[in-house]
Structure 1
């Protein structure tokens, strides 16, 4: 028997037993070591605000259409930041080029479950780089989200970027924008996160509870404003401030997962008068103009390479390693006391 983390309802987490799946041809069996909890997408499911819970996504027309007023629960196996060990390989793919072997550590997406049967093609060449802490590999997906936002921002050497929201993805974006040659102004409401932003290379920080990031950005750039802004908090007030922070013709990347109505976003003000470019970054694909050179796989591997080379230290963002049996407490911590946690990881090695 194995286990899977399940949302039984809004703010109701269960760890339930599941039967072992048979191993079909072309598949691998993976025993999970670590699984990172997303404080963005997963919390929308935990809280019951995710649009997939009450609407239906029409993939052909790329539209949300009317669904039910009641959230669809239970939800099993959410999570997209897993690392595990291959324990069994189907004979028909064993030894094939790129297919992980028994005993290999692999990274991928199979949700918060103790064991998964995964098609070998999905884990092709997904072996954790030698010498890299397996915990670092749990950041592959969130690192790609941050990298995608930085690519969408088109940061150039010598430019100034404001990064709003210094949670895990925001801190990674701060680091990646700095590596891209930008001077980064990092904004957040939590002092410890601003300290971490400085550690990750931010040239200056702003406590958004006491100061206007837009005003600080103007002072920091001799009145011009930032060249680009990346908004990762998912807060519409922060998106408005990101728009205010950039120069005439500046670019704002909306990379947060915004919920509900955009209260506080006033598009008749700086957005209109400064002719600001507003673009969306979403992990489903790279910016369209880069699609010939970048894809999701390249973003994943680029982030892992940067971590393996020591250019980015994702393990330094892990504040809590929690036994899977205590998953409910982990989600409660992230939801109710965000100042106490950055990356929370479910640790299957302790169960």
Structure 2
């Protein structure tokens, strides 16, 4: 705790900070604590909105995340593992309301993005925060982490001129990945997604076709559209069974990029057919790190800059389908778990 005289701050409307906790499978709780005071090298942020990661947080909510796995070793806001009770979330946008004695006053009142858990007020070191560019609404800025993930998928997948590409799963990250892929010089881009509304959104974002994977043999359906199998397939659905479909859809010397995190769910793969002879490559991709092959030219700062640029270029507002006050967060997770077809991106609000 710092001496109040050394902290420059706005008056605080809330006397208590509120944090969301995953407390048991299917259960979340909002707990309060004193408003944190920034240390000499820190700032305090009052959160405006934070985006729920339906994939990762869905695993936490269902108790399907490996409890011995570190929360995220690359992000300073997280410590410990994924066991209950757990604070989580990594897409918060808010306003800096106090700065420590050794922090430049220019940070005060700045709108920032933070890889921080769902909570109404928190402290952080300025270098861990990303100033939100002028003209980006706070609600849309909560999509930064999802879009950064999509940017990473393109960097890792390396879609090439004239390639045939498919994307399995059109949640928020899948749709953003489709939108970026549609702006590369591909020959064919096909999305597979069970939900009709998301299929329609995928085609508006630029997919040549968006199909229900339950309707037909996905490999045959893709070849009817593209004339051959895919050069590159993305598995972003969160469903381990979809990985077999992605492999089946991919052609000779093709790449399958797995962006899904399955948690404790196992994937049973059929690798006894074409997979071996067709030299199909399966690779994982995840946003916490940069592919070592790119790290000489790409830094997190460069990737951040590119993500902000595309956040302003893409029409992302239609993805924000629901806003739920933090106090009603349980309803938000029930919506995503029980009626996922009704929502794309759910945002928690803190007014």
CA contact (8 A) 2:64 2:265 kept: no
- TM-score, normalised to structure 1, is 0.89
**Matched residues in 1 for 2:243 and 2:22: separation?**
29
Residue 168 of structure 1 deviates from its aligned partner by 0.4
**Matched residues in 2 for 1:197 and 1:74: separation?**
36
2:221 alignment counterpart: 216
Deviations 1:8-46 (A, max 9, x none): 111111111111122211111100000000001111111
- The counterpart of 2:251, out of the listed 247, 251, 273, is 247
CA contact (8 A) 1:144 1:296 kept: no
**Matched residues in 2 for 1:39 and 1:195: separation?**
20
Deviations 1:65-103 (A, max 9, x none): xxx9xx831112x100110001111131214xxxx5211
1:324 alignment counterpart: 326
2:127 alignment counterpart: 121
Deviations 1:123-166 (A, max 9, x none): 2xx21111111112111111111111121111012211100000
Residue 261 of structure 1 deviates from its aligned partner by 4.8
Q: Does 1:87 align with 2:97?
A: yes
Q: Does 1:34 align with 2:36?
A: no
Structural RMSD (CA): 1.9
Most deviating of 212-221 and 35-44: 212-221
Residue 58 of structure 1 deviates from its aligned partner by 12
Structure 1 residues 327 and 56, CA gap change in structure 2 (3 angstroms): closer
- The counterpart of 1:2, out of the listed 12, 17, 24, is 17
**Matched residues in 2 for 1:229 and 1:119: separation?**
38
- TM-score, normalised to structure 2, is 0.89
**Matched residues in 2 for 1:345 and 1:195: separation?**
21
Alignment of 1:192-271 (within 5 A): 192-222=197-227, 224-271=228-275
**Matched residues in 1 for 2:239 and 2:22: separation?**
24
- The counterpart of 2:301, out of the listed 297, 301, 315, is 297
**Matched residues in 1 for 2:299 and 2:318: separation?**
27
- The counterpart of 2:156, out of the listed 152, 156, 168, is 152
Helix, strand or coil for the counterpart of 1:289? Answer: coil
Deviating above 4 A after TM superposition, structure 1's stretches of 4 or more consecutive aligned residues are: 56-60
